[in-house]
Chain A
Amino acid sequence: MKRRALALLCAGILAIGMLAGCGGNSDSKDSNAKTEESKTEKKSDGTFYVALNYMPTSLEPSTVSDDQTSLVRPIFEPLFVETKDGIEYYLADKVDISEDGKTYTIHLNEKANWSDGEPVTVDDILFTMEYAGRNSGGKSSYTTINRQDIVYTKKDDKTLEAVLPEPYATYTAAIGRMMIYPSHAFDNDYTKVEGSGYFNSTDIATSGAYTVSEINDDSIVYEARDDYYRGTPSVKKVVMKTIGSGSTKQVAFENGEISYMRITTPEELKKYEGDDNYNISSFSEARLNYLQINPYGPAKDKLTEDARKAIFLAINADEIIDTAYGSDELATVANSLLTPDQSLYNKDCKGYEQDLEEAKKLAKSSGIEGTTLKYVYNADRPNMEEVATVLQQQLAEIGVTLDVEGLDSNAFFQRFFAIMFQSGEEDQWDLGTNGWDSERGSSLGQAYSYINNSSKAWGFSDEAGQLAAKVNAAADKDEAQQLANDLQDLTLSEYWEYPLTYTNYVMVSQKNVTGLDAVPVVPEFVDYLKIKVD
C-alpha cells in the first residue's frame, strides 16, 4: 500500500512537471496582479540590478565587447564622451584642439582619483596605451593614425599633449572613450598585467563611482564610493547577476529580479508601453544598420554599377521598418551613412527611394536578373534575421534570389571583414548587413575608415576616399560640413552601401527606476550618478 502511494506520488510529480506548460500564456491582468503583489511584498532596497549574459572571468576595463564595457562602467570611467552637441567630461575636464587639428591637450580632473586614494594621472593613460599595443610592437588605435605614430608628451601629472601626424577628427572619440588602467597597481610595468589576476579580485582600484564589493559564483556586487570625485551616487549598490538566456531575462524582469532590460521587438514594446508598472526609456542608439555589397564576392563580375543600383532601388526601407521593427519607435529609416547624432549629418541627404520599375529595368539590362547572391547577417544582433527575410522578398521582385546565411558574431566578422582579418573568406558573400555603433560626435566616425579604406574592401572610389580624408582633416567647421554634405551624396551615388535604419535603444525598467536615458550613450550606462532607484 505504502509503495503504491509512493509510486503514485512519484508519477504525480512527473505528470505535473510535464503538463505544467499546458497552462500557456495566462491572462496578463492576473500576471500583473501577481507582479504587483510580489512587489508590494518586496520593498525596494534601492539596489540597481543588472542582468549579465554570462559570468565574466575578469573585470578588466576592456572595450573589446559591449558586454564587458557595460559590466565595468560602474568602476571604470572614460576620459570623456563626445556627443553631437559637444563633449561630456568624466576623468578629463578639458580638451583643447589646436586650430590645425593636430595638437590635442588633454587635462585630467584635479580631483579624479582611484578608489585606493591614488590620483588619476597621465601615467595611467600612457600605461593603458602601452598595454593596448603589447602584442603589436606598441602600435594600437591610440598610438597610430594611418600607420603613422602619434607623439605623446607628458606636460605634468594631469596634462597630456598628443601631436597627430595629420588632422584626424575621429581621434577625439577614440581617445575619449579609453578606459584607463591603474598604472600604480602594476608598478607602471604593463607586462605585469596579464596573468596577475588583479582584475579578478575585490581589491581593484577603480576610477568610477563604485568599488567591487563581492565577486560571487553568479553575481558581482558594486558599492558606491564615498570619495568619488563627482559626488556620491544615490544608488548605493549595483548588482550584476547572471540571468539565463532567452526568455528567462523577461521572466526575471517581471519577477522584479532585475531593474531593467532592453526591448528589441514590437511585441515587447506593446506589452510594456501600456503597463503602469513599468517605465519606458528610449534614446537614439547612434547606430547605423546598413546593407553592404561586397566588391570581392562570388558574383563580383555581375555586380556592376547598374546591377547595384537595381538592387538598391528594389529595396523599400519603410517595409523593413514595419516588418522587422514594427514601428519607428524601435528604428527609423536611414538616409545617409552618417547618423543624426553626428554633427556632420545632413538631414537633407536624399537617401534611396524605392523605384521598382526602374529596378526591374536595370536588373534586366545589367544581367543581374536571375542571379543568386549569397547574403550573410550577424545572427547575434537583434532584428537582422527579420531584415534578411524582408530583403529576400523585395529582391525576388526583380528576379534576384538571396541565399541567406546567418552566422554567429565571430564567424560573421571573419567573413564580412575578410579583407581586414585576412581570413580568405571575401569570396564567400555578395551582400551582408552590419551596423556601425557609437556614431556620435563631431567627426565621420566609423564611416571614415570604411569610405577611405586603403584595401578598397568596401568598394568606394578613390574620389570618395579622398573627400573623406578632407572632411577628417578640415579644421574649419563650415568647410567640414560642406565637404561632409558632398561626401554623403557621393557615397550614395556609388551604390555600395545602403543605409537601412537608425536604431533606438529602448529599455523597460521597474516603476521605481529612473534616469536610464539621462546620458544617451551605449553600451550603457556611462553616468551612474543619474540613475535613481526609489
Chain B
Amino acid sequence: MAKYFVKKGIQLIIVTILISFFSFAVIYAAPGDISGMYLNEQMSDEEKEAIKENLGLNKSMPEQYWGWAKEVLKGDFGISLANHTSVSEQIIKRLPATLQLMGAALVLSVLLAIPLGLWSGYRKNTWIDNIISGLSYIGMSIPSFWLGMVLIIVFAAKLHILPSSGMHSVGNESFLDTVKHMIMPCITLSLSNLAVFIRYIRSNTIGQLGEEYVLAAKAKGTTGGKLLKRHILKNTLLPIITLLGMNLASIVCGSFIIESVFGWPGIGTLAMTAIGVRDYPVIMAYVMLSGIILVVGNFIADILYAFADPRIKREDMAND
C-alpha cells in the first residue's frame, strides 16, 4: 500500500508540472496579453517597455514560466495583473459559492440516478426502462447553456416563480433565498451527470442481476426491492466512485458556462473574466487548482475503490 501511495504521489508531481507548463505555453501563445490595460498612444517607446518589463511581458516564455513557478513553489500565486489583488484571496472568496452550487448539483445527480438506474436495470426492456433510457440519452445530448436558458425563460420570464440569475436577492441572504436561486443552475448542472450515472448504474444492475448470488437470494424468497437495496446497490456503485472522483475537480472549479448564464459569482466567472483580459496569474492558479484536484480526485477514487471492493485490495497485495 505504501508503494502505491508513493507511486501516486510521484505521478501527481509529474502531472502537475506538465499541466502547468503546457497551460502556460497556451496562454503565452494565445493572441493578446494584459498590456492592453496599461498602454496608450501617448506613451513613448521607453515608457511602453518599462510597463512591459514591470508586467514581465518582455521575457521569453520559459523565463516567465520559471518566474511564476518559483513563487508558486513558495505558495504564492501572485497578484492579479488586472486588479492588483492577491490571486489566492480572490479564489478563496469565490470558492464557497462554487462548492455550494456544484456540490448540490452532484448530490442531486447521485440521489436521482440511483433509484432511476436501479429501476431501469431491474425492468430491462420494459416501457419504464425505455423511457428512462430515452430521457438519459436526451439528457446527455442537451447543451447545458441551452437548457439553462430554457429554464430561465420558463420559470423566471413566464411563470415568475424563480429569480433569473444571481446567488441572492439583495438584502436577503437566507438559506431559502439561496436555494431558490440555486434551483435552476442545479438542475441544469445535474442533468448531464444524472444521465451518465443512470446509464452506468443501469448497466451494472443488469450485470449484477445475472450473478449467482442474486439467483440464490431470489431462491431464498428475497423480494425485488430488498434485492436491489441490500444486494445489488452496493455492487453497482463501484464505477460511480470513480466518476465522483473525476468530478471532484468540477465541484471545486465550477462550470464556466453555467456560472455565466446564471450570473453565479463563483470561480468559473472569475476564470472567464481573467481569460478575457489574459490575466495569467489568475488563469494559471485556476488551471493548477483544477489539475491538482483532478489528479487528487482520481487518487481518492482509487483508494475508496480499493476499500469498497476487497478484490482490488487482494490483487494489489498479491502483486506486491
Question: Which residues of A approach B to under 8 Å, CB–CB?
Answer: 3-4, 6-8, 10-11, 13-15, 17-18, 20-21, 23, 26, 31, 34, 38, 54-58, 60, 64-65, 135-137, 139-141, 144-145, 147, 194-195, 197, 200, 214, 216-219, 221, 239, 241-248, 251-252, 254-255, 257, 407-415, 420-423, 425, 449, 453
Contact = CB atoms under 8 A, between A and B. Distances in A.
B156 A251 contact: yes
B261 A411 contact: no
5 contacts: A135-B50, A218-B263, A218-B264, A241-B170, A241-B263
A257 B180 CA distance: 15
A18 B139 contact: yes
B154 A408 contact: no
B47 A248 contact: no
A219 B31 CA distance: 32
Interface size class of B (residues with CB under 8 A): 35 or more
Contacts of B263: 218, 241-245, 248
A408 B79 contact: no
Contacts of B43: 136, 139, 141
B32 A248 contact: no
A34 B52 CA distance: 55
Contact of A252 (B119, B165, B276): B165
Contacts of B39: 420-421
Contacts of B107: none
A181 to B, nearest CB: 13
Identify the interface centre among B80, B261, B265: most chain A CB within 10 Å of its CB. B265
Nearest to A257: B164
Interface of B: 30-33, 35-45, 47-48, 50-52, 54-55, 79-80, 83-86, 90, 97, 112, 115-116, 119, 128, 131-132, 135, 138-139, 142, 145-154, 156-158, 160, 163-168, 170-171, 173, 187, 191, 194, 225, 260-265, 269, 272-273, 276-278
Nearest to A17: B187
Contact of B225 (A3, A21, A420): A3
B264 A197 contact: no
Nearest 3 A/B pairs, CB to CB: A21-B150, A410-B32, A411-B31
A58 B83 contact: yes
Given A11-B135, A216-B173, A414-B31, A57 B85 contact: yes
Given A21-B154, A407-B31, A241 B54 contact: no
Contact of A11 (B55, B132, B145, B149): B132
A239 B115 contact: no
B158 A26 contact: yes
Contacts of A415: 31
Contacts of A247: 149, 152-153
A411 B135 CA distance: 41
Nearest to A142: B42
Nearest to A2: B225
B261 A243 contact: no
Contacts of A60: 83
A148 to B, nearest CB: 10
Nearest to B149: A247
Contact of A410 (B51, B157, B277): B277
Nearest to A245: B260
A29 to B, nearest CB: 13
Contacts of B52: 422
Contacts of A145: 42
B84 A194 contact: yes
B32 A242 contact: no
B275 to A, nearest CB: 9
B34 to A, nearest CB: 8
Identify the interface centre among A34, A56, A248: most chain B CB within 10 Å of its CB. A248
Contacts of B47: 136-137, 139
Nearest to B187: A17
Given A10-B115, A245-B261, 19 more contacts: A7-B128, A14-B135, A17-B151, A18-B135, A18-B147, A135-B38, A135-B50, A141-B43, A200-B85, A219-B170, A242-B263, A248-B165, A251-B153, A257-B163, A409-B36, A410-B277, A410-B278, A420-B40, A421-B36
A218 B167 contact: yes
B237 to A, nearest CB: 17
Nearest to B163: A257
Given A7-B115, A244-B261, A248-B263, A20 B44 contact: no
A10 B116 contact: yes
Contact of B31 (A218, A425, A449): A425
A196 to B, nearest CB: 9
Contacts of B48: 420-422
A64 B39 CA distance: 10
A8 B119 CA distance: 10
B142 A255 contact: no
A6 B79 contact: no
Contacts of B264: 218, 244
A13 B142 CA distance: 16
Identify the interface centre among B54, B151, B171: most chain A CB within 10 Å of its CB. B171
